[in-house]
Structures are given as C-alpha cells and as structure tokens.
Amino acid sequence: MSRALKVAVDGGPYALTAGPDGAMWVTLVHAGAVARISAGGEVTVHAVGEGSRPSIITAGPDGALWFTRSGDDRIGRISAAGEQSEFELPSGSAPFGIVAGPDDALWFTAMTSGVIGRISTDGEITTEATVGGMPSMITRGPDDALWFTLNEGNAIGRLTARTRGGQENSRTRGGQEGGGTLTKRQLPTPAAGPVGIAASHDDAVWFTEIRADKLGRIPMNDAIQELDLPGKPHAVVADPSGGVWVSLWGADQLARVSDDGEVITVDLPSGSEPHGLAIGPDGAAWVALESGFVLRMPN
C-alpha cells in the first residue's frame, strides 16, 4: 500500500511514466525539461531545450526513457543517469504519442504530418504508415498491434508491427510504407475528438473522447462501447487491480472506472489541469497536473 503524495514541480507537468530505476519521470512541457521524482518525492530536473515542449514519455526496451519533443520535431532519449540524446524528424512533424512496441523499438505519432513512425534504440527512424487525421496518443494493444487515436479523423487506428526481416509480429503482412496492416474504426459519436488510449487487463483498448465527454472501450474484435464521462476526459491508464483511471481535464477531477462501468470521481484543486497518468512501481496511480504538481494516489 502507498500513501498519497503531492510533489511540486514547476514547468507544466504534462505526462509521466515509471522508469526502470523505480522513479517516476515527468515531462515539463512549458519549461522544456524532464524531471525525475523519487519514491520519496525528491525532484531532479534535466533541461532539454527552450521551445522543445517535451510531451509524452515512456520507458524504452533499452532501460532509458524516451519522449516526444513536439516543439522542435525531435525524439528525445534520457538515461536513468540523466544522459541525453536526440533524434531529428522532418520539420513540421509535431511528434506527440510514444510507446515501446513489441519489436524492441519505440513507436510514435506525428500530429501535423499524420504519420506513425518507428525509432530503433540506436536511432534509426522509419515511417510505418501515413494515416492523417492528427494521430495523438498510441499504445501497444493486447494483440501486440499498435493502437492510436485519430483526433481529427474521429477514429481509432490499428497498425500491426512487422519485424525487420519482413515478417509481422501480429497477423498478416500489409503494405503501409514498409509497415504492417492498417485499419481504422470510426467512432459512433461524431466529432468526438479522441485523445488518450491505453490497453487494459481485460483484453480491451480504452480511449477518451475529449470533445464528446465520453470514455470508449474496444474489446478485441468486437463493437466499440461508449460511456458518458463529463469533464473533458484526456488521458487513460489501466489500473492493475482492474478498470482504468481517467484524467478529467475540464473538471479538475480524476475518474476511476471499473470494468463494468461503475464511475468514482476524485476532486482535485481548482485549476489543476490534470493530464498524463501512469502506474508507479507500487501499483499506485500518478497524475501530472499542468498547474505545477504531480500526485500519487493512495492504493
């Protein structure tokens, strides 16, 4: 069990992830930095660059943390010791979502150029599919495919990952610019504005609809389900004990949603602007508040 913890972090905490060192790593979108928060709440800030706008961060297969830099069109890498490197994308890409894939590489979205990209741990970058529709967040699904939200396309995309030898890690071979098979599923609600997405423990993918005030769920090979969840839901993460946590950006709340749709909300201070969510090493949910704090919820 862990107790609640509130840590002040200047610079606009946006997204976070558990690192291999037992700490939480947080992007500071306004400060152009990445912060490390120890289990006890000690903060170490690593400057990235003015205007870099670090956005989403994830633990990589190489023991480092990888993050998107939406402000200067780069993918960043930082080791647990704080050593950084960067990898340049075409100008105007606006990378945003990033996740470790099933193939020992990182997969990312580029909002402006509308592509799904792959970067190996040695920095080789390939375009795996051009999807349009402002791809936003991305996750590795229960089926080892890459699932992502299309914010302006009002759809959820799925792309299978091939190995570098030409075979796919999931299902059949496709023809998407050197990648795997691409499919898109339109949302039942028009102009829903999907953003966050996460695989859960019930063989489903959950996603948020920020403009429609809904939470969506896609069971593998089944119809899309939607649940009303007012408050501009933004990010979603699977809870190890079942269900999901959702940040309600417009309501200054968190929501805990069970597998059967029961909703419990947690009020946050006014003006918190909750964004990214992650599960810590102890199974507790952490949330980044753009107002300047990171919270660990009790579990």
Whether pLDDT at 172 is above 50: no
Note whether 35 and 54 are within 8 A (CB): no
pLDDT at 173 over 50: no
What is the pLDDT, as a whole number, of residue 174? 31
In tens, the pLDDT along 73-126 reads 999 999 999 999 999 999 999 999 999 999 999 999 999 999 999 999 999 999
pLDDT at residue number 170: 38
Q: Write the DSSP symbol of residue 157.
A: E
pLDDT at 298 over 70: yes
The CATH number given to 5-296 is 2.130.10.10
Q: Answer yes or no: is pLDDT of 285 > 70.
A: yes
Mean pLDDT of the chain: 93
CA dihedral 254, 230, 207, 219 (to 10 degrees): 110
Active site (annotated) includes residue 201: no
Q: What is the pLDDT of residue 178?
A: 52
Q: What is the mean pLDDT of residues 63-80?
A: 98
- pLDDT for 175: 33
* Residue 61, number of CB atoms within 10 A of its CB: 15
Angle at 238 between CA 295 and CA 136, to 5 degrees: 85
Q: At residue 241, does pLDDT exceed 50?
A: yes
What is the mean pLDDT of the segment spanning 62-71?
98
Nearest-10 Cα torsion for 132, 133, 136, 142: -80
Q: Confidence class of residue 222 from pLDDT cuts 50, 70 and 90? A: confident
Cα 196 to Cα 103: distance, rounded to the nearest angstrom: 22
Listed residue (253, 295, 277, 289) closest to 29, CA to CA: 289
What is the pTM for the complete model shown? Answer: 0.94
Which pLDDT belongs to residue 220? 84
Burial class (CB in 10 A: 0-12, 13-18, 19+), 130: middle
Catalytic residue among 30, 46, 201, 275, which?
Answer: 275
Query: Would you state the pLDDT for residue 179?
Result: 58
Cα distance between residue 268 and residue 155, in whole Å: 30
pLDDT band at 1 (very low <50, low <70, confident <90, very high): low
